[in-house]
């Protein structure tokens, strides 16, 4: 009866040019009644007692606005506001206020909840962070900004392969799982990336088929409706040259048809001779806003890479020598080998429709096409060793080159509904939808050729980079790949899910209940497809002790397809569960944020590296069961005006709890992670005076207890790792100059492993002290 006597206040907040103003706080002064404007600028405050109030608007970059308003019983009072600020003005203010902290996940994570209130550890690497650190691709230092993320096997700038919480995490792009093989996808060029979201733990409730250890979601740039542009040029050590452009604007006077175009061209050498990695990128986006409720967006990303053969960055040495026994710039590459070429296409079509302020439908589909033609280098023997034709001595190596032609196709679709409603005093945020996917990956690894002979091997202590003694390979690239492929991975899946986030006590207590049904059909090589289905539940609790201090607990399960050729046993979906507890806090009016989480992950049927795997027969093994435990701490944001900090630490431990593999015992440490990881990046920009706009940065990465990527232990462990970077910048008007120096201490830094079957160590050395200088012009 009381509710029937209450009133409602609603309206729209607009910027100059009638652009909707998002994330503006609207409140009735001195009361609990408030709301936040949506993407379309609308707000609605329900169940307001009749009376006269002062309505207040607050937001980043705007002066608070107040006005009187009268709320009548059983009536809707509409109050619209028009702000003089433009979106461009607000974007500038947001960067100046907080360059490194973002409070809301992207729409591709499907959530309607601020990061502070989500019962899960989610870390967002902002676009400004990428610019300040001069990050050019997904494998170019992004992980320093997230606790516990490492790349123990770097794969050059080809594949990202991030390990977190004891396992390789899944790669997503705009909410789509883009993993079609163990190695992929091709690292995303940062020219078309807006920001990157790292989700710790399972995320099947909000994205398709997530891993229990987590995922990263690359969010690409979209049109903003503001006409602007940016051109950047970069140059640096080892013949590094890069230019990129970002154009944003309108294609019609009404601002309904918008565009965004990003492009980049890059030539990149290496501290190792004869090695290069050149990139070319185009990424157009077009969106059409039919009205306030309906929007259609089309996006296409194309990346072309031309590089030295895969594996050129690895160096091998005999078992007796250990790691890093050769100069940092040493190479085993044979100059004269043809380049490896990769084409990476991705297209997206997204339809969004708002039924009203509470209900929204999103339908999107995507197609990914990956084409690779090239080579992979790996030795056949490392001396002292016995080959089929005799012995080779210490320092002698027989280099081998194998073909690596690959083709991947992925058709993915998603449709989901977000809704909000109340049942009495309980609020509900509902998410429900369907995911569909069809993926295949085929590759030819079956052709290989020894570059050297037993009588005339390649000697690492006296290298000869002339024509190899056994000449260059003549591989068959012309026969259709489908007829010569030795690896064929495929998976199809369909899933339906429902989630309800219930809010109690004016949304101070939030309880998440969710379930997902997943059907999977998958194949490994040419084996018969395996089919399975499973229901995975999710339960989460988050409680706001204060408006800026929340604690949470989470239980989640995962059920996801895997890819790889299994040596023994059947290829099965990965299953697992995650138990996690955490504390999140915003400090000093949201200027900076801290997150502390502890977790326990149990995984079954996980594919892992095979001790007997070779480049011509890259097999996997089904481990059985493993457990990962640890805790993580992240801090990011503005400490005070001009001073911004990103810092994190993680402790990780992963062991075998059940083993199906001979030689791997219960209690053994699982390879592929660092026990201790710590990172920091500090940036200070002078705010006033003659030196206004001048900035300086310093950052470091520390790794200890590093596990290799293979089960072979060898005689030597990987050493403690510490890398120090720093830079200077100056911004005046529309121009900004940034210069960074990497590996300031000029340390010999490397990753690597020991291969039992080869009786050899291999490692990949990072560059010594090197620099990049960039110039950005905004217009």
Q: How many residues does the chain have?
A: 779
* DSSP bridge pairs for 659: 624
Mean pLDDT in residue range 761-769: 94
Q: What is the mean pLDDT of the chain?
A: 88
- Residue 620, classed as helix, strand or coil, is strand
Distance CA 317, CA 750 (A): 14
- Tokens coding 317: 């040495």
For residue 210, what pLDDT is reported?
A: 60
Give the model confidence (pLDDT) of 634-651 as tens digits. 999 999 989 999 999 999
One DSSP character per residue, 243-285 reads: EEEEEEEESSTTS-EEEEEEEEEEE---SSTT--EEEEEEEEE
- Left, alpha or beta for 2 (phi > 0: left; psi -120 to 50: alpha)? alpha
Among candidates 722, 723, 725, 721, which has minimal Cα distance to 739?
A: 725
pLDDT at 3 over 60: no
Chain position carrying tokens 């259709």: 480
Give the model confidence (pLDDT) of 192-202 as tens digits. 999 999 998 86
Among candidates 771, 763, 728, which has minimal Cα distance to 746?
A: 771
Q: Cβ contacts of residue 149 below 8 Å, gap of 6+? A: 143, 162, 163, 164, 169, 198, 677
For residue 556, what pLDDT is reported?
A: 87
Distance CA 560, CA 553 (A): 23
Among candidates 580, 662, 596, which has minimal Cα distance to 624?
A: 662
For residue 449, what pLDDT is reported?
A: 95
From 74-88, 406-420, 673-687, 713-727, the region with the lowest mean pLDDT: 74-88
Q: Distances in Å between the alpha carbon of 559 and those of 98, 216, 548, 556?
A: 37, 17, 34, 10
Question: Confidence class of residue 265 from pLDDT cuts 50, 70 and 90?
Answer: very high
Distance CA 334, CA 465 (A): 6
Alpha-helix residue ranges (DSSP H) falling in 632-732: none
Question: Confidence class of residue 14 from pLDDT cuts 50, 70 and 90?
Answer: confident
Give the model confidence (pLDDT) of 506-553 as tens digits. 899 999 999 989 898 887 665 667 788 888 888 999 999 998 999 999
Distance CA 363, CA 374 (A): 37
Question: Confidence class of residue 1 from pLDDT cuts 50, 70 and 90?
Answer: very low
For residue 564, what pLDDT is reported?
A: 61
Q: Cβ contacts of residue 602 below 8 Å, gap of 6+? A: 212, 576, 577, 625, 626, 627, 657
Residue 735 Cα to chain centre, angstroms: 29
- Tokens coding 627: 């457990």
Dihedral, CA atoms, 547, 542, 599, 516, nearest 10 degrees?
Answer: -140
Question: 652 near 165, Cβ under 8 Å?
Answer: yes
Give the model confidence (pLDDT) of 358-394 as tens digits. 899 999 999 999 999 999 999 999 988 766 667 787 8
Cβ of 150: how many Cβ atoms within 10 Å? 23
- Left, alpha or beta for 672 (phi > 0: left; psi -120 to 50: alpha)? left
Edge-to-edge strands of the sheet including 122-125? Answer: 122-125, 193-200, 214-220, 170-173, 176-177
Distance CA 496, CA 201 (A): 20
For residue 527, what pLDDT is reported?
A: 61
From 302-306, 327-331, 388-392, 653-657, the region with the lowest mean pLDDT: 388-392
From 48-57, 154-163, 525-534, 720-729, the region with the lowest mean pLDDT: 525-534
Q: Cβ contacts of residue 356 below 8 Å, gap of 6+? A: none
- Buried/exposed code over 756-777 (b: 16+ C-beta within 10 A; e: otherwise): bebbbbbbbbbbbebbbbbebe
Strands 574-587 vs 592-604: parallel, antiparallel or unpaired: antiparallel
pTM listed for this prediction = 0.86
For residue 567, what pLDDT is reported?
A: 67
Give the model confidence (pLDDT) of 346-356 as tens digits. 999 999 999 98
Mean pLDDT in residue range 618-641: 87
Question: Confidence class of residue 88 from pLDDT cuts 50, 70 and 90?
Answer: low
Question: Confidence class of residue 288 from pLDDT cuts 50, 70 and 90?
Answer: very high
773 vs 37: which has the higher pLDDT: 773
Question: Confidence class of residue 121 from pLDDT cuts 50, 70 and 90?
Answer: very high
For residue 530, what pLDDT is reported?
A: 77
For residue 61, what pLDDT is reported?
A: 65
Question: 524 near 441, Cβ under 8 Å?
Answer: no
Distance CA 35, CA 28 (A): 9
Residue 478 phi, psi (nearest 5): -90, -35
Distance CA 24, CA 63 (A): 11
Sign of CA dihedral 168, 173, 174, 176: negative
Give the model confidence (pLDDT) of 451-477 as tens digits. 999 999 999 999 999 999 999 999 999
Give the model confidence (pLDDT) of 704-714 as tens digits. 999 888 877 77
Dihedral, CA atoms, 688, 694, 695, 696, nearest 10 degrees?
Answer: -120
Give the model confidence (pLDDT) of 564-619 as tens digits. 666 666 667 778 888 999 999 999 888 899 999 999 999 887 776 666 666 556 67
């Amino acid at each position: 009866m009381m509710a029937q006597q209450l009133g409602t206040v609603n309206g729209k907040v607009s910027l100059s040019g009638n652009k909707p103003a998002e994330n503006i706080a609207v409140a009735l002064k001195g009361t609990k009644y408030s709301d936040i404007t949506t993407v379309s600028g609308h707000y609605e405050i329900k169940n307001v007692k009749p009376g006269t109030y002062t309505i207040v608007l607050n937001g980043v970059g705007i002066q608070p606005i107040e006005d009187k308003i009268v709320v009548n019983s059983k009536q809707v009072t509409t109050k619209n506001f028009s702000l003089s600020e433009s979106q461009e003005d607000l974007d500038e203010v947001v960067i100046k206020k907080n360059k490194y902290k973002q409070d809301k996940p992207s729409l591709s994570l499907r959530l309607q909840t601020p990061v502070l209130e989500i019962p899960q550890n989610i870390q967002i690497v902002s676009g400004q962070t990428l610019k300040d650190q001069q990050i050019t691709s997904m494998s170019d230092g992004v992980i320093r900004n997230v606790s516990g993320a490492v790349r123990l096997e770097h794969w050059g700038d080809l594949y990202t392969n991030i390990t977190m919480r004891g396992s390789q995490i899944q790669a997503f792009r705009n909410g789509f799982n883009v993993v079609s093989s163990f190695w992929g996808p091709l690292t995303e060029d940062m020219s078309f990336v807006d920001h990157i979201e790292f989700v710790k733990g399972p995320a099947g409730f909000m994205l398709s088929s997530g891993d229990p250890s987590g995922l990263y979601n690359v969010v690409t740039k979209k049109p903003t409706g503001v006409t602007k542009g940016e051109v950047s040029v970069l140059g640096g050590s080892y013949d590094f040259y890069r230019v990129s452009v970002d154009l944003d604007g309108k294609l019609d006077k009404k601002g309904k048809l918008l565009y965004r175009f990003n492009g980049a061209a890059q030539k990149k050498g290496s501290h190792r001779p004869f090695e290069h990695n050149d990139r070319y990128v185009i990424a157009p986006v077009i969106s059409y806003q039919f009205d306030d409720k309906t929007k259609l967006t089309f996006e296409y990303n194309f990346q072309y890479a031309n590089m030295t053969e895969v594996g050129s960055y690895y160096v091998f040495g005999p078992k007796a020598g250990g790691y890093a026994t050769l100069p940092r710039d040493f190479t085993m590459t044979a100059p004269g080998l043809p380049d490896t070429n990769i084409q990476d296409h991705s297209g997206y079509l997204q339809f969004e429709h708002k039924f009203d302020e509470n209900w929204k439908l999103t339908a999107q589909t995507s197609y990914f096409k990956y084409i690779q033609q090239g080579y992979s280098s790996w030795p056949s023997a490392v001396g002292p060793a016995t080959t089929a034709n005799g012995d080779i001595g210490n320092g002698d190596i027989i280099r081998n080159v194998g073909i690596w032609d690959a083709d991947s196709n992925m058709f993915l679709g998603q449709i989901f509904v977000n809704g909000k409603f109340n049942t009495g005093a309980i609020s509900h945020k509902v998410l429900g939808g369907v995911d569909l996917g069809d993926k295949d990956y085929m590759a030819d690894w079956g052709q290989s050729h020894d570059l050297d002979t037993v009588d005339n091997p390649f000697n690492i202590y006296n290298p000869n980079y002339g024509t190899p003694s056994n000449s260059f390979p003549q591989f068959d690239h012309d026969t259709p790949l489908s007829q010569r492929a030795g690896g064929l991975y495929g998976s199809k899946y369909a899933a339906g899910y429902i989630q309800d986030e219930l809010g109690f006590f004016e949304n101070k207590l939030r309880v998440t209940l969710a379930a997902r049904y997943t059907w999977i059909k998958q194949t490994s090589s040419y084996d018969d497809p395996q089919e399975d289905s499973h229901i995975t539940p999710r339960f989460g609790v988050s409680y706001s002790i204060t408006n800026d201090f929340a604690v949470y607990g989470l239980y989640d399960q995962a059920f996801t397809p895997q890819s790889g050729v299994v040596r023994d046993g059947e290829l099965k979906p990965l299953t697992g569960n995650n138990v996690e507890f955490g504390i999140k806090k915003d400090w000093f009016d949201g200027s900076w944020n801290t997150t502390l989480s502890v977790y326990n992950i149990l995984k079954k049927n996980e594919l892992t590296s095979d001790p007997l795997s070779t480049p011509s027969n890259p097999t996997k093994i089904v481990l059985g069961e493993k457990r990962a435990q640890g805790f993580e701490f992240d801090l990011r944001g503005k400490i005070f005006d001009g001073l911004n900090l990103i810092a994190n630490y993680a402790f990780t431990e992963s062991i075998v709890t059940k083993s199906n593999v001979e030689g791997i015992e219960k209690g053994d440490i699982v390879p592929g992670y660092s026990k201790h990881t710590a990172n920091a990046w500090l940036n200070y920009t002078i705010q006033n005076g003659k030196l206004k706009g001048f900035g300086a940065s310093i950052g470091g990465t520390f790794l200890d207890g590093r596990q290799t990527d293979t089960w072979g232990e060898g005689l030597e462990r990987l050493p403690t790792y510490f890398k120090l970077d720093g830079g200077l910048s100056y911004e005046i008007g529309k121009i900004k100059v940034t210069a960074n120096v990497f590996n300031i201490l000029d340390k010999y830094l490397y990753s690597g492993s020991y291969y039992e079957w080869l009786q050899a160590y291999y490692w990949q050395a990072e560059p010594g002290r090197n620099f990049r200088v960039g110039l950005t012009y905004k217009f």
